[in-house]
Amino acid sequence: MAIPIKNSAAITKMREASAIAATVLYTLREHVAPGITTYDLDQIGRELMQKLGARSACYGYQIGSRRFPAYTCLSVNEEVVHGIGSMKRVLSDGDIIALDVVLEVDGYIGDNAITVPVGTISSAKQKLLRVTEEALRLGIAQATVGNRIGDISHAVQTHVERNGFSVVRDMVGHGVGASMHEEPQIPNFGRRGKGEIIRPGMTLAIEPMVNVGNWRTKTLRDGWTITTVDNSDSAHFEHTVLTTEQGPEVLTIPRLDSSPTVHALTA
């Protein structure tokens, strides 16, 4: 399947959707604190999207007969991705939580994620978050016209493994645009000079998923939540990136002057 190349009208819409997604994510992270439930965070995310005129691309997303029941993906500690907000999951001091916001505005998708500390976290968790975010930046730097997708993959994998962690191989980054998942697939592992050539006008969701222990994952009984097989901690960072002749442009940048105010649902 061909990789979609966005024209100027599509890029304008991608900029808007991505900016709103980033604004929601930035605002949502301000509510992360010990004592709040992941359900409450999900509802805050729902309210933020509504106030900014966006629709969650996660809610109702269907695979087979299963529909995703939450507005955001909230993954705690050993959960890699696709965690579902729950009243039973209360955040505690020392946890880490990945916040993944994917939304649609005017037919186009904005997609981004960040992993943040809950209260005070250990030095080991601090290193995991730092290395994963660094890997994202290094991957984005390789998203230059004329490079290949494998250059992104190799940059992520090399940095992660050099620091003693592992990259998830069961799930990958991807193109994004009018659909949440477009070509090309962007693994977080690979060889330089391999894969599709990067051309101007691609919009890519680059998203390292990094485990402390084994790279393998498993799916919980809810059919959605992905965790590490060895229950080691995992981190996830993601940006939507536009490829241009001038270099990669991160689209998921928040508009802080338009961040809506919402109130936490728990004391």
Please list the alpha-helical segments (H only) found in 171-225: none
Place of tokens 């996830």: 236
Cis ω before 4 (30° cut-off from 0): no
Question: Distance between terminal CA atoms of the chain?
Answer: 49
Between 123-141 and 149-162, two packed helices, what is the crossing angle to 10 degrees?
A: 160
The C-alpha atoms of residue 33 and residue 92 are separated, in whole angstroms, by: 8
Identity of the amino acid at 49: M
Q: Is 238 annotated as a binding residue?
A: yes
Q: Is 31 annotated as a binding residue?
A: no
The C-alpha atoms of residue 44 and residue 28 are separated, in whole angstroms, by: 7
The C-alpha atoms of residue 141 and residue 127 are separated, in whole angstroms, by: 21
Q: Is 30 annotated as a binding residue?
A: no
Q: Is 182 annotated as a binding residue?
A: no
Contacts of residue 76, Cβ cutoff 8 Å, sequence gap at least 6? 38, 83, 89, 91, 95, 96, 97, 98
The C-alpha atoms of residue 202 and residue 241 are separated, in whole angstroms, by: 8
Q: Is 100 annotated as a binding residue?
A: yes
Binding residues for a divalent metal cation: 100, 111, 174, 207, 238
Binding residues: 82, 100, 111, 174, 181, 207, 238
Binding residues for substrate: 82, 181
